[in-house]
């Protein structure tokens, strides 16, 4: 099978509802949310001419975590995902800045 070029955009909820104790608290963020993103990235060949990934976080406002051209390999991209901290705030999917 030959690798195909793709761009994957991840939109990540940073609101405090993600770490609500009823949803597992911070384990929900660290294990479920960041774990899912890690598995997603590991499923694709990452590179400038292969799969490129960008990630945007949102809560009260949206913020770019990293763009499609920020990381050229899965190792550095996964390190950035591991460092991603929840920003908190309200869930506001209608806010445009």
What are 48-96's pLDDT values in tens digits? 999 999 999 988 888 999 999 999 999 999 999 999 998 887 776 665 5
CATH code of 54's domain: 3.40.50.410
* Domain presence at residue 48: yes
**Containing structural domain, residue 18:** 6-83
- Count the domains in the chain: 1
Burial of 87 (0-12, 13-18, 19+ CB in 10 A): middle
Q: Per the domain annotation, does 31 fall within a domain?
A: yes
Question: What's the Rg (C-alpha) of the chain?
Answer: 14
25: left (phi over 0), alpha (psi -120 to 50) or beta: left
For the ranges 26-30, 31-35, 48-52, 54-58, the lowest mean pLDDT is seen at 26-30
Q: Is residue 39 part of a domain?
A: yes
């Amino acid at each position: 099978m030959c690798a195909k070029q793709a761009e994957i955009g991840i939109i990540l909820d940073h609101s405090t509802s993600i770490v609500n104790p009823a949803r597992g608290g911070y384990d929900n963020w660290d294990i479920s949310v960041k774990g899912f993103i890690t598995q997603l990235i590991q499923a694709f060949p990452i590179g400038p001419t292969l799969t490129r990934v960008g990630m945007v976080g949102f809560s009260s406002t949206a913020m770019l975590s990293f763009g499609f051209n920020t990381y050229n390999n899965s190792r550095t991209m996964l390190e950035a995902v591991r460092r991603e901290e929840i920003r908190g705030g309200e869930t506001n999917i209608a806010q445009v800045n």
